[in-house]
Amino acid sequence: MADKKMVEAITSMSEDFAQWYTDICKKADLCDYTSVKGCMVFKPAGYAIWELIQKQMDDRFKETGVENVYLPMFIPESLLEKEKDHVEGFAPEVAWVTQGGLAPLQEKMCVRPTSETLFCDFYKNEVRSYRDLPKVYNQWCSVVRWEKETRPFLRSREFLWQEGHTIHATAEEAEERTIQMLNVYADFCEQVLAIPVVKGRKTDKEKFAGAEATYTIEALMHDGKALQSGTSHNFGNGFAKAFDIQYTDKDNTLKYGYQTSWGTTTRLIGAIIMVHGDDSGLKLPPLVAPVQVMIVPIQQKKEGVLDKAYEIRDELKKAGIRVKVDDSDKSPGWKFSECEMRGVPMRIEIGPRDIEEGKAIIVRRDNGEKTECPINGLTDKIKELIPEIQKSMLDAAREHRDAHTYSAKTWEEFNKIFEEKAGFVKAMWCGNRECEDTIKEKLAVTSRCMPFEQEEIADTCVCCGKKAQKMVYWGRAY
């Protein structure tokens, strides 16, 4: 009974997807609620996933010349107000500090919702000459946005992220960096998180406050909702003009710099849960799994069983594999359920008879496949399975996304799909904001992006019937 109860603790995803998600966050021990409304505790299992994301993403950033810095978490009001669109975009979500100790502050300060204005203030003194350019900086930090409704990892009042901020001599260089970082995000999601994404540009309605252009990667969750998984913004020289960031060029004239910013957050952990998880719990891609292999000794009290389990663990560790032995006094069935719940990519089962025969059993979390393997071949087999599981998980996620991506030529088709199904809908758009507003109002659907890979679904806009300008991915989002 005990083994069965563990799995029953998760609501089925088909019954209530939102509850299923919350159950996994709690039961897989990823996070917990706190007395601070709208904020959460990252428990070791959840934070370890973020550390692996951070390390591998940071390595990729550095390969493109990015350097890490750290700026203050407070922004004076006067600084935030220098870029009109930017401040208007963030005003509803800003948390303000009005008192320091017992005395009121001369100027109130906000807790950073994002750091464009601080970076501008910093660049103003940092950039004097063309020789100082480009500056390609990033910071890993937390930000605060006073969200009304929160959900673990997807939306909380304080969340962890990285924010890249760069400044360049020309508009071309800035655009190149904007797209380059979007591609870094897309490759990372596919190769490391096993999540396929659609790359494209946001409409003006959906772009970042103060940006000339916002580019995005959009992923489809298991319930057919879209999740914006990373964005990259080209600011042109609007911020540079607002903050008077000028440099002396080779021809001895003063010019404004061109800026970009780009970011991903801990909502990527939410994406991993919602793209890969099932009714048994979490499924972690091996590259971000804090424990890649769990060794479960069977009849562990029998002589030699635990010793052999530790010996295998030490061998795998030497090969750089993240491995643990579950030597708790729970039953093997309970341990298997717990392994599945926590999304451990592989488990090794080994008991007295296996040891006698010189073999063990490897069980994959992604497809449940069991393989017998000689004990002395375990390290090689596990190393071989890591990329195989990564690929298998990406293929399954891509298949699910493609099966839930539809096309609509007319309003009737468009409306019918959103009434009956869940997923991405590709449809043409005239470029007018009125149509976006109408679609949102009538169907609770937003434009996700204008993909780089354009298709001509029809000649006319799905909403108003006028001449179409762009093919857009539409969807309901988190």
CATH number at residue 110: 3.30.930.10
Clarify whether residues 347 and 208 are in a common domain: no
For the cut 50, the answer to whether the pLDDT of residue 1 exceeds it is no
For residue range 280-321, list pLDDT tens digits in order.
999 999 999 999 999 999 998 899 999 999 999 999 999 999
Kindly provide the b/e burial profile for residues 113-130, where b requires at least 16 CB atoms within 10 angstroms of the residue's own CB.
bbbbbbbbbbbeeebeee
Interval 84-96 mean pLDDT: 84
Domains contained in the chain, number? 3
Are 49 and 288 contacting, i.e. CB atoms less than 8 angstroms apart? Answer: yes
pLDDT averaged over the chain?
95
Q: Tokens 């969340």 appear where?
A: 159
- Give percent of the chain with pLDDT exceeding 70: 98
Give a yes or no: residue 284 inside a domain.
no
Please report whether residue 395 resides in a domain.
no
Mean pLDDT within 430-436 = 97
In terms of domains, do 434 and 295 share one? Answer: no
Starting at the edge strand that comes first in sequence, how are the strands of the sheet with 158-168 ordered?
67-68, 135-144, 158-168, 258-265, 226-236, 213-220, 198-201, 446-451, 470-475, 424-429, 405-407
How do beta strands 370-374 and 359-364 pair? Answer: antiparallel
pLDDT digits (tens, 9 = 90+) for 126-146: 999 999 999 999 999 999 999
Statement: residue 159 has pLDDT above 50: yes
The answer to whether residue 400 is domain-embedded is no
C-alpha span between 28 and 9 (Å, rounded): 11
Residues 211 and 145 in one domain: yes
Q: What is the pLDDT of residue 84?
A: 75
163 and 61 assigned to the same domain: yes
pLDDT tens track for 417-426: 999 999 999 9
How many of the other CB atoms lie within 10 Å of CB of 48? 17
pLDDT of residue 3: 46
320 is a domain residue: yes
Decide if 96 is inside a domain.
Answer: yes
Note whether 209 and 315 are same-domain residues.
Answer: no
Query: Position 468: which residue type?
Result: A
Instruction: Please indicate, yes or no, if residue 161 is contained in any of the structural domains.
Output: yes
Residue 301 and residue 371 in one domain: yes
Question: For position 225, what pLDDT does the model report?
Answer: 97
Pick from 261, 320, 267: which is nearest to 135 by CA? Answer: 261
Q: Are strands 370-374 and 258-265 parallel, antiparallel or unpaired?
A: unpaired
Looking up residue 351, the CATH number of its domain turns out to be: 3.40.50.800
206 to 100, 203, 209, 229, 475: CA distances (angstroms): 36, 5, 9, 14, 13
Torsion of CA 56, 59, 64, 66, to 10 degrees: 110
Same domain as 166, residue 85: yes
Is the CB of residue 345 less than 8 Å from the CB of residue 292?
Answer: yes
On whether the CB atoms of residues 68 and 139 are closer than 8 A, the answer is: yes
Report residue 2's pLDDT band, with 50, 70 and 90 as the boundaries.
Answer: very low
CA 118 – CA 110 distance, rounded (Å): 11
Question: What is d(CA 336, CA 188) in angstroms, rounded to the nearest whole number?
Answer: 30
Please give the Cα distance from 208 to 43 (Å, whole number): 31
CATH of the domain at 446: 3.30.110.30
Q: How many helices (H) and strands (E) does the chain have?
A: 15, 23
CA distance 473 to 460: 15
User: What's the whole-model pTM score?
Assistant: 0.95
The pLDDT, as a whole number, for residue 6 is 52
Q: What size, in residues, is the chain?
A: 478
Shared domain check, 67 and 15: yes
What pLDDT digit, counting tens, does each position of 434-478 carry? 999 999 999 999 999 999 999 999 999 999 999 999 999 999 998
The residues, ordered by sequence, that sit 6+ positions from 103 with a Cβ below 8 Å of its Cβ are: none
Helix (H, G, I), strand (E, B) or coil at 248: strand
Asked if pLDDT for residue 148 goes beyond 90, the answer is: no
The answer to the question of residue 286 being in a domain is no
Same-domain check for residues 365 and 426: no
Rounded to 5 degrees, what angle do the CA atoms 301, 304, 307 make?
Answer: 100
Q: State whether 205 and 339 are in the same domain.
A: no
Residue appearing with tokens 């440099």:
247
Sequential DSSP letters for 319-362: TT--EEE--SSS-HHHHHHHHHHTT-SEEEEE-HHHHHHTEEEE
Residue type, 126: E
Are residues 202 and 351 part of one domain? Answer: no
Question: Whole domain around residue 338: which residue ranges?
Answer: 291-384
Mark whether 380 and 410 lie in a shared domain.
no
Q: Is the pLDDT of residue 7 over 60?
A: no
- pLDDT at position 80 is 86
Position 214 in a domain: yes
Which of 384, 416, 446 is the last residue before a domain boundary? 384
**For the chain, what is the radius of gyration of the CA atoms?**
25
Q: Is the pLDDT of residue 154 over 90?
A: yes
